[in-house]
Chains A and B, each alone.
Chain A
Amino acid sequence: MSKKDVDQHSGTETTGHEWDGIRELNTPLPRWWLGIFYATIVWAVGYWVVMPAWPLVNGYTHGVLNHSQRADVAKAVEMLKASRRASEARLSKAGLTTIQNDPDLLQFAMAEGKAAFGDNCAPCHGSGGQGHKGYPNLNDDVWLWGGTLGDIQHTITVGVRSVSPDTRQSQMPAFGRDGILKDAQIGDVTEFVLSLSGRSADAKAIARGKKVFADNCVACHGERGLGNRAFGAPNLADRDWLYGGTREDIRSQIELGRGGVMPTWGGRLSPETIKALAVYVHSLGGGE
Chain B
Amino acid sequence: MQGPKLRVSDVNAPQFLVSGKPVPMPSLMAAEGVARSDAQATNSAAARRFYKSRVPIYPKLVHGTFRKVKWAAMAVLLAIYYLVPWIRWDRGPGAAGQAVLVDLAHERFYFFFIEIWPQEVYYVTGLLILAAIGLFLATALFGRIWCGYACPQTVWTDLFIYVEDLIEGDRSARIRSSKEPRTATKIAKRASKHAVWLLIALATGGAWIFYFADAPTLARSLVTGESSPIIYAFIGLFTFTTYSLAGLMREQVCIYMCPWPRIQAAMTDAEALSVTYRTDRGEPRGPHKKGQSWESRGSCIDCNQCVAACPMGIDIRDGLQLECINCALCIDACDEVLLKIGQPKGLIGYDTDLNLQRRAKGEKARFRFVRPRTIVYAALLLAVGAVMLVSLSTRATVGLDAIRDRNPNFVVLADGSVRNGYMIKVLNRGAEPRTFLISIEGPKISAVRIIGLDDAKLPARIAVEADKVRTLRVLITVAGHDLHTGSQEIEFTVADPKIGERHETASVFVSGEPRS
List chain A positions with a Cβ less than 8 A from chain B.
103, 106, 126-130, 137, 139-142, 235, 238-240, 283, 285-286
Residue of B nearest to A130 (CB): B408
CB < 8 Å neighbour of A238 from B406, B411, B414, B451: B414
List chain B positions with a Cβ less than 8 A from chain A.
405-408, 411-416, 419, 421, 449, 451-452, 473, 475
Q: Is B412 within 8 A of A285, CB to CB?
A: no
Which A residues are in CB contact (< 8 Å) with B408?
Answer: 126, 128-130, 137, 139
CB < 8 Å neighbour of B451 from A126, A128, A283: A283
- CB within 8 Å for A141 and B413 given contacts A126-B407, A130-B407: yes
Q: Is B415 within 8 A of A238, CB to CB?
A: yes
- CB within 8 Å for A285 and B475 given contacts A128-B405, A128-B407: yes
- Number of A-B pairs whose CB atoms are under 8 Å? 47
12 pairs from A and B in contact (CB 8 Å cutoff): A103-B452, A128-B406, A130-B407, A137-B408, A137-B411, A139-B421, A140-B412, A140-B419, A238-B414, A239-B414, A240-B414, A285-B475
Q: Is A285 within 8 A of B415, CB to CB?
A: no
State A240–B419 Cα separation when bound (angstroms).
14
State A127–B406 Cα separation when bound (angstroms).
11
Residue of A nearest to B405 (CB): A128
State A129–B408 Cα separation when bound (angstroms).
7
Extra 8 A-B pairs, beta carbons < 8 Å, given A137-B408, A142-B414, A286-B411: A106-B452, A128-B406, A128-B407, A129-B408, A139-B408, A141-B413, A238-B414, A240-B412
State A130–B415 Cα separation when bound (angstroms).
18
State A206–B475 Cα separation when bound (angstroms).
38
State A142–B411 Cα separation when bound (angstroms).
11
Which B residues are in CB contact (< 8 Å) with A127?
Answer: 407
Q: Is A285 within 8 A of B419, CB to CB?
A: yes
State A286–B417 Cα separation when bound (angstroms).
13
State A225–B449 Cα separation when bound (angstroms).
29
Residue of B nearest to A127 (CB): B407
- CB within 8 Å for A285 and B421 given contacts A128-B408, A139-B411, A140-B412: yes
Q: Is A235 within 8 A of B414, CB to CB?
A: yes
Which B residues are in CB contact (< 8 Å) with A140?
Answer: 411-414, 419
The 10 closest A-B pairs by CB, nearest first: A128-B407, A130-B408, A238-B414, A139-B411, A239-B416, A140-B411, A141-B413, A142-B414, A285-B475, A128-B408
State A103–B411 Cα separation when bound (angstroms).
26
Which B residues are in CB contact (< 8 Å) with A137?
Answer: 408, 411
Which B residues are in CB contact (< 8 Å) with A238?
Answer: 414-415
State A284–B452 Cα separation when bound (angstroms).
12
From B411, B413, B416, B421, residue with most partner A Cβ within 10 Å: B411
Which A residues are in CB contact (< 8 Å) with B407?
Answer: 126-128, 130
State A240–B417 Cα separation when bound (angstroms).
11
Residue of B nearest to A131 (CB): B408
State A286–B473 Cα separation when bound (angstroms).
13
State A109–B406 Cα separation when bound (angstroms).
23
Which A residues are in CB contact (< 8 Å) with B414?
Answer: 140-142, 235, 238-240
Which A residues are in CB contact (< 8 Å) with B419?
Answer: 139-140, 285
Residue of A nearest to B411 (CB): A139
State A285–B413 Cα separation when bound (angstroms).
11
Residue of A nearest to B475 (CB): A285
Residue of B nearest to A235 (CB): B414
A10 to chain B, nearest CB (A): 14
Which A residues are in CB contact (< 8 Å) with B405?
Answer: 128
B252 to chain A, nearest CB (A): 16
B47 to chain A, nearest CB (A): 21
State A128–B419 Cα separation when bound (angstroms).
14
State A128–B423 Cα separation when bound (angstroms).
14
A159 to chain B, nearest CB (A): 24
From A126, A127, A238, residue with most partner B Cβ within 10 Å: A238
A27 to chain B, nearest CB (A): 14
State A239–B415 Cα separation when bound (angstroms).
6
State A140–B412 Cα separation when bound (angstroms).
7
Which A residues are in CB contact (< 8 Å) with B451?
Answer: 283
Residue of B nearest to A237 (CB): B414
A284 to chain B, nearest CB (A): 8
Residue of A nearest to B451 (CB): A283
A113 to chain B, nearest CB (A): 13
State A106–B452 Cα separation when bound (angstroms).
9
A225 to chain B, nearest CB (A): 13
Which A residues are in CB contact (< 8 Å) with B475?
Answer: 285
